[in-house]
Amino acid sequence: MSDPMIALTQPIKAHDETVESLTLRRPTGKDVRELGYPYKISADESVSLQADVIARYIERLAAIPRSSVDQMDPVDLNAAAWAVAGFFLGSAASPKN
């Protein structure tokens, strides 16, 4: 599985460079242990993304500073949030027999 790339609708600055896309590396067990899960499951079984945890994942997985995450357009932040959540969903999360 290749690392997801998010094309930004609005460029951001990171490390004194203009960034027009972000590539998110796949998180490791250490990342999950240190950052926690990027979602919360309520008693009614609804799922909600946790914005602060998602921001920390974007920061770490895209290797950009928090100030760059803070610059992201809401549309881009949402796309990146679902890309992060995608690491925890789908067939990759299913046990293999």
In a domain, 53, yes or no: yes
In a domain, 35, yes or no: yes
> Strand 39-41 vs strand 5-14: parallel, antiparallel, or unpaired?
unpaired
In a domain, 94, yes or no: no
In a domain, 50, yes or no: yes
pLDDT of residue 94: 44
Higher-pLDDT residue of 28 and 92 is 28
In a domain, 97, yes or no: no
pLDDT tens digit sequence for 34-83: 999 999 989 998 889 999 999 999 999 999 999 999 999 999 999 999 99
Total count of domains within the chain: 1
In this predicted structure, the answer to whether residue 91 has a pLDDT above a threshold of 60 is: no
At residue 81, φ and ψ (nearest 5 deg) are: -60, -45
Q: What is this structure's pTM?
A: 0.87
In a domain, 59, yes or no: yes
pLDDT of residue 15: 95
* Structural domain range at position 50: 5-89
In a domain, 95, yes or no: no
The H or E element containing residue 63 is: none
In a domain, 77, yes or no: yes
